[in-house]
Every structure is written in C-alpha cells, then in structure tokens.
Amino acid sequence: MADTIETVESEEAPALDPKGAAQTAETVAQALRSRIQRSDLAPGEWLREVRLCSEFGVGRSIIRRALRALSDDGLVDIVENRGARVSATTVEEVFDLYETRAALYGLATRFACLRGSDEMIQSLLVKIDRLLEQAETGVAAEDIIETSESIFGEMSECASADAQRMIASIRRKTRFHFSYVALAVNANGPGPYKFWRGVRAGLIERDADKAAQCARDILYYMQGEVARMMLARGPRARSDAAQAETPKAPRRAAGARSR
C-alpha cells in the first residue's frame, strides 16, 4: 500500500545512544522524526539546540541541519530569532497533502501505462504480486511499505523531470506526518488491496484511466485513515491553530488611559 501502512517504514529512526557512535544530521533528524510521529514531542514544543546538542553529543551545525530537514518535511517550524518547534499539523493540511499526492501518483501510474516498456510493466507486476502476497501472509508493515514505495518510485521514472520533482517533494512531506503511524494501527485491516489489484489489471491492459484511478484510490484510502486517526487524537482545526498562535494583547496597567 504505497503509503498504505505508512508507519515507520525503513525511515524510522534507529535507537540512538548519545554515548554511542557519532551521530549525523540525518540520524538526529530520524530520531526526532520518530518522536514526533509517536507524539513524544507535542505540537508547539520547542526543540532547543543546547539541549539537543547535549543529548545527541553533536555540535550546533549538525542540530541545525537536522532541524532544517524536519522543517522541509513540515514537521518543524523554524521561527526567526527564536528557534524551532514542533508543527501543529491540522487535519486540513494533511488532507490537502494527500489530495495532491493522489493526483501525482495517479499521474505517475498513467504515464507508466502509456510510456513504460514491457519490461517495466512486468517488473511492476512482480512487485505488486509480492505486495499482495506480503499482505496475505501478514509480513511486517515495514516490508509492505518498502515494496509499495518501490512500485511508485519505478512508476514515477516515466514522468517528466518536473513531475518527478513534484512527486518527490509531496512524498517527503506526507511521509513523516501521522501517515506512517496511521496504518500500523490498521495493519490487519482490509487495507486498499482491492485498489492494488485494480492497478495491476490496468497495467496489464495498458488501461491508463483505470490504473490511474485505482492508484488515486489507494491514496484516498490513506487520506481517510490518516484523517480518522488525527480526529481521534483531537487535532486542532486550522482556525484553532491560528488562534493559538495569536499573541494575547498585553494587559493595560491599572489607571492607564487610552491615547
């Protein structure tokens, strides 16, 4: 499920021992990413450089690169002259990201049908069969995710360079929101496998419309699962988040007069 069971996929941060081997910006970012996914770091919580340097045993340059990577993923807001804090992702924002991702994945699948060589189509069918077999036998969610990401990655090779850049960007942004935690919860549920079978049939028939619609339906399934999970956690709506960011007017001192 291309994103179907997007939980901690191979991107999940390894356990980091501050006293262990030297950390890189990437491993620090992965560790923080995982904590944000698990809600160990709450929306609005400040990520102080001094504390992170001490915890991971690295210098500020590494911490800053890690925070910039998290900012690119949409997980952290970098506030000028104040530092970085965990983003308060809203249902609307994640919903919109998956809507965009669905459109782009449908595009990639369409191009695979229209432009992919017979060898590529055969490779995609083998991978889809592997994904369906993995689902049937109940393998680890991470393995299914790896297979699904490989499928969409290969499909995107048929798109233009501009389309590939858009796909990569939106994939990164959706990948580390609540999406990956979402399907781990439902790993034993029905999943979007009927849509994967539709993609398979569309590829065999070179039916671009059918394959593209089923690919979009996979992402719409994810969209619904993520939104459901976020609502269960009581996320803030956009208006609520904006209100939380609005600084309160300072109280006027007793006896002060309006000018």
Q: Could you read off the pLDDT of 166-196 as tens digits, one per residue? A: 888 887 777 655 555 555 545 556 778 999 9
pLDDT over 50 (residue 13): no
| pLDDT of 210 higher than 50 | yes
Banded model confidence at residue 240, pLDDT cuts 50, 70, 90: very low
CB 170 within 8 A of CB 97: yes
Task: Give 224's pLDDT tier (boundaries 50, 70, 90).
Answer: confident
Question: CB of 30 within 8 A of CB of 11?
Answer: yes
In whole angstroms, give the CA distance from residue 42 to residue 147. Answer: 31
How would you list the strands of the sheet with 76-79, edge to edge?
Answer: 46-47, 83-86, 76-79
Give the pLDDT of residue 244.
43
**CA angle 41–11–157, rounded 5-degree value:** 135
Dihedral angle over CA of 243, 89, 37, 186, nearest 10: 120
Whether the per-residue pLDDT at 75 is higher than 90: the answer is no
Q: Which residue has the higher pLDDT, 39 or 146?
A: 146
Taking the C-alpha atoms of residue 3 and residue 128, their distance in angstroms, rounded to an integer, is 14
Reported confidence tier of residue 232, pLDDT bands at 50, 70, 90: confident
Q: What are phi and psi of 46, to 5 degrees?
A: -80, 140
> What pairs with residue 76 in β-bridges?
86
Q: What's residue 169's pLDDT?
A: 81
| Model pLDDT, residue 47 | 95
Mean pLDDT of the chain, nearest integer: 78
- In sequence order, which residues have a C-beta less than 8 Å from that of residue 18 and are 6 or more positions away? 54, 55, 56, 57
